[in-house]
Structure 1
Amino acid sequence: MIDIEEGDLIKIKKDGVEYKGTVMPSIDDTIVLKLENGYNIGINIDEKTFIEIIKSKKEIDSSILDNKNQDLTAKEKGLPNVSVIFTGGTIASRIDYKTGAVTSQFKADEIIKIIPELSDIATIDTDQLFNILSENISPKNWVDIARAVYDKIKKGSYGVVIAHGTDTMNYTASALSFMLRTPIPVVLVGSQRSSDRPSSDSYVNMICATKTATSDIAEVSVVMHGTISDDFCLIHKGTNVRKMHTSRRDAFRSINSVPIGKINYPDLEINLFSDRYKKRDEEDLRLYDKIEEKCALIKFYPGCDPGIIDFFVEEGYKGVVIEGTGLGHVSSAWIPHLKQDIPIVITSQCLNGRVSNRVYDTGRMMIKAGVIDCEDILPETALTKLMWVLGQTKDLEEVKRLMRTNMRGEISKSTGYIF
């Protein structure tokens, strides 16, 4: 059999049918090809099979290196500079066809090369801050990202895009919303399916995120698919967004608020749904990167032992957020355990709607115990906000005041229409 390597572009003829594609990791006498339509096919090779190498992997790699840099083309067009910071996640991943697992393998410059449309939007510079899946993101990483964004803005970036895993992207988005005061757009983007899959949403998401980074929306936002089709992406405020489905391409939704807007694809026209966002150059650049990591988010459930609160206090935690039931309640057996010298914040498991501890007796007892109810703030956002607030002050009364103050759009004035 002809000597071929992974990455070669080849043609196979068998049983009167011709196949053309790129050689993928293969086993035994079967060659796996990625066809031009993006799908993969396995072809069993025998003595009657004809194989022709159209272009070797070395030739393909050489042609990519010889191509004129797309950033220079964008510069020649006088387009604005957008910095893309890669942190890992599915958008920077590919399938390992030997194991079937998805791992973070792409480098930043590789992704930019395979999305040439970006050169029609902006001059792109890329940084690989780290390359980890989002479940491994920690509060320390939030600080690293915030500092990297701050540096990019100081150096003159017109907009910043952060490529991030989707599973914890809402935590990072809300944390950055409190840590940064930005005069330019800061956009988080990810994908539900790895970039080398035919059904990947990464290309459209990245293109729409880059377009948003050149807009007037100068705050932290999340840009992801608005439907399962490639027709538009939604722009979500960083403090109001949540991943609502494990695998659908339109998994992200704004909670208790409408999205800021949407970006139609492929014309990239931005339609705004709200004018309640910071405009470009409205704020001066500031970085508030001190956070208190020792905060916990716990979920109340029937029969849950209230001693869990005492446990966190004894372990040295500086604050606790509780996902309560309905209007923000816990069992009456919890009341004595809520009287702590650390802030106890109450949110709701319901997501939509507001916490109100003035309706039922249990709620009023919780207020007397000193809990902090935070209107319609999301539990994850309450956690990142509490970490940030405790990084600014340890005074309990000031913590209560700040947690109840709408700072970055995390608390709405009233509960209204839900998108």
Structure 2
Amino acid sequence: MEFELGDRIRIEKDGNVYEGIVMPTTTDHVVFKMVSGYNAGIDPEGATITLLEKAQPKSAAKKEKAEKAKPSKKLPKVTILSTGGTIASKVDYRTGAVTAQFSADDIVDAIPEITEIANISGRVVYNILSENMKTEYWTELARAVAEEIENGADGIIVAHGTDTMMYSAAALSFMLKTPVPIVFVGSQRSADRPSSDNAMNAICATKVAVSDIAEVCVVMHDTTCDDRCAIHYGTKVRKMHTSRRDAFQSINCNPIGYVDYSTKRIETILPYTKRGTHELEVKATLEPKCALVKFVPGADPDILSYYIDSGYKGIVIEGTGLGHVSTDWIPNIRRATEAGIPVVMTSQCLNGRICDRVYDTGRDILKAGAIEGEDMLPEVALVKFMWALGQGGDVSEIAAVMSTSVENEITECTLK
């Protein structure tokens, strides 16, 4: 029998019955997506195939588009800014591709539950893979967020790829003082997978966007179950697993709180800036010529020479343990600081705090002019360095900023 991509069919073979939507294939097998969300491939020889439903033509689909949700005067306004994430992705069964749809209508169609929480509008800032993020994109995003707040948005959601979301969240944390919530959200698994986390994350993010938590934060699955999402400070969160749904974890502190998915209630456990406390303020100037250098045993100290001689303005070193490097790196640390290039020490351990006063090596590093990064994550220290240098000031002023908590990036007492 004849069938086309997107048709719903039933296949009976060897006493088994399968139903699904026809997908593209490069073999002689019939490939289709089952109700479970998984794809299957069946050799059609000896099989009985029944056409259950023809695919709806694209033109007809447009004409019969679901009725748009009407804005409610009673609901707050939330703008979803897209940077290339998959918050409202769809599967095109004619091509087999998962494509991102980012108009307000597309988002509402994909996740209609959010219309019960807020009046949603959408805007594409850029559409890139998160690994292609650049400092100038952070600046563009910060200004787009500010524009939406100035236009009356009661909350902002930033849909972002997960791989570099913690960098972008940290950047906006430093660049913006905000009167409303700014919520980063992403998806570890695409929308065509039964285990996709995009809808739950988006719904929880929307709840936070209309709350009184006026922080730049990240909202993602807290566990591998569909029970709750965690609300993380944008400067204390890290992606800790390549694919698990609970990959995002707060480091050296607890999350701000949690969103219960079944009740949609928010429970906070840490202090936060309340809605309306700050006027909108934008300080979006960044210095891109900052480096994050990971020390490894036997690494050549001339690695630092490269950055010094190439005109870099700041260097973050990811050292061992309490913040150490080999003794033969110390002369180049001194060379950098004497040249007016601040050097901040952080740790590869992630959990815990820098203390270069315990061992002789650490004391020599401090004598060479390095700044202790306290319990900042290395990537957060890098982004903060870019921001601090972008605001101007001499080396002593930059050092003071890097040693002071600006947006919760340094905790007074590190968790043990």
Q: Shared topology, TM-score over 0.5?
A: yes
Query: % of aligned pairs identical?
Result: 51
Which blocks of at least 5 consecutive residues in structure 1 are unaligned? none
User: SS at 2:18's partner residue?
Assistant: strand
Match of 1:151 in 2: 147
- The CA distance in 2 between the partners of 1:105 and 1:307, in whole Å, is 45
User: SS at 2:139's partner residue?
Assistant: helix
Match of 2:77 in 1: 81
Once the two structures are superposed, residues 338-379 of structure 1 have per-residue CA deviations (whole angstroms, 9 ceiling, x without a partner) of 122211111111111111111111111111111111211110
- The CA distance in 2 between the partners of 1:311 and 1:34, in whole Å, is 52
More deviation in 311-320 or 8-17? 8-17
Match of 1:219 in 2: 215
What does 1:14-413 correspond to in 2, within 5 Å? 14=13, 17-46=16-45, 49-58=48-57, 62=61, 65-70=64-69, 72=70, 75-76=71-72, 78-89=74-85, 91=87, 105-109=99-103, 110-274=106-270, 276-339=271-334, 340=336, 341-413=340-412
**C-alpha deviation, 1:104, in angstroms:** 7.0
Assess, with a 3 A threshold, how the Cα gap between structure 1 residues 386 and 104 changes in structure 2: closer, same or farther. farther
Assess, with a 3 A threshold, how the Cα gap between structure 1 residues 97 and 114 changes in structure 2: closer, same or farther. closer
Assess, with a 3 A threshold, how the Cα gap between structure 1 residues 326 and 358 changes in structure 2: closer, same or farther. same
Assess, with a 3 A threshold, how the Cα gap between structure 1 residues 60 and 111 changes in structure 2: closer, same or farther. farther
- The CA distance in 1 between the partners of 2:52 and 2:180, in whole Å, is 48
Residues 89 and 110, structure 2, Cα contact 8 Å, conserved in 1: no
- The CA distance in 1 between the partners of 2:250 and 2:33, in whole Å, is 36
Match of 2:2 in 1: 2
User: SS at 2:100's partner residue?
Assistant: coil
User: SS at 1:321's partner residue?
Assistant: strand
Aligned residues: 410
Once the two structures are superposed, residues 162-211 of structure 1 have per-residue CA deviations (whole angstroms, 9 ceiling, x without a partner) of 11111111111101100011000001011111111111111111111111
- The CA distance in 1 between the partners of 2:94 and 2:308, in whole Å, is 47
- The CA distance in 1 between the partners of 2:62 and 2:36, in whole Å, is 22
Q: TM-score, normalised by structure 1?
A: 0.92
More deviation in 110-119 or 230-239? 110-119
- The CA distance in 1 between the partners of 2:95 and 2:394, in whole Å, is 52
Assess, with a 3 A threshold, how the Cα gap between structure 1 residues 92 and 296 changes in structure 2: closer, same or farther. farther
Assess, with a 3 A threshold, how the Cα gap between structure 1 residues 306 and 234 changes in structure 2: closer, same or farther. same
Residues 189 and 209, structure 1, Cα contact 8 Å, conserved in 2: yes
- The CA distance in 1 between the partners of 2:348 and 2:35, in whole Å, is 46
Give the partner amino acid of 2:44: I
User: SS at 1:298's partner residue?
Assistant: strand
Assess, with a 3 A threshold, how the Cα gap between structure 1 residues 104 and 329 changes in structure 2: closer, same or farther. farther
- The CA distance in 1 between the partners of 2:331 and 2:291, in whole Å, is 19
Give the partner amino acid of 1:362: T
User: SS at 1:26's partner residue?
Assistant: coil
Match of 1:414 in 2: 413
User: SS at 1:66's partner residue?
Assistant: coil
Once the two structures are superposed, residues 288-315 of structure 1 have per-residue CA deviations (whole angstroms, 9 ceiling, x without a partner) of 1100001000111111111111110111
- The CA distance in 2 between the partners of 1:59 and 1:344, in whole Å, is 57
- The CA distance in 2 between the partners of 1:335 and 1:98, in whole Å, is 60
More deviation in 180-189 or 36-45? 36-45
- The CA distance in 1 between the partners of 2:332 and 2:179, in whole Å, is 43
- The CA distance in 2 between the partners of 1:166 and 1:350, in whole Å, is 22
Residues 86 and 191, structure 2, Cα contact 8 Å, conserved in 1: yes
Residues 90 and 166, structure 1, Cα contact 8 Å, conserved in 2: no
Assess, with a 3 A threshold, how the Cα gap between structure 1 residues 372 and 98 changes in structure 2: closer, same or farther. farther
More deviation in 57-66 or 258-267? 57-66
Once the two structures are superposed, residues 131-190 of structure 1 have per-residue CA deviations (whole angstroms, 9 ceiling, x without a partner) of 211111111111111111111111111111111111111111101100011000001011
Residues 259 and 273, structure 1, Cα contact 8 Å, conserved in 2: yes
User: SS at 2:332's partner residue?
Assistant: helix
Give the partner amino acid of 1:2: E
Which blocks of at least 5 consecutive residues in structure 2 are unaligned? none
User: SS at 1:409's partner residue?
Assistant: coil
Give the partner amino acid of 1:326: G
User: SS at 1:256's partner residue?
Assistant: coil
- The CA distance in 1 between the partners of 2:61 and 2:98, in whole Å, is 24
Question: Pairwise CA RMSD of aligned residues?
Answer: 2.3
- The CA distance in 2 between the partners of 1:89 and 1:225, in whole Å, is 16
- The CA distance in 2 between the partners of 1:394 and 1:322, in whole Å, is 21
- The CA distance in 2 between the partners of 1:320 and 1:28, in whole Å, is 53
Q: TM-score, normalised by structure 2?
A: 0.92
- The CA distance in 2 between the partners of 1:51 and 1:93, in whole Å, is 29
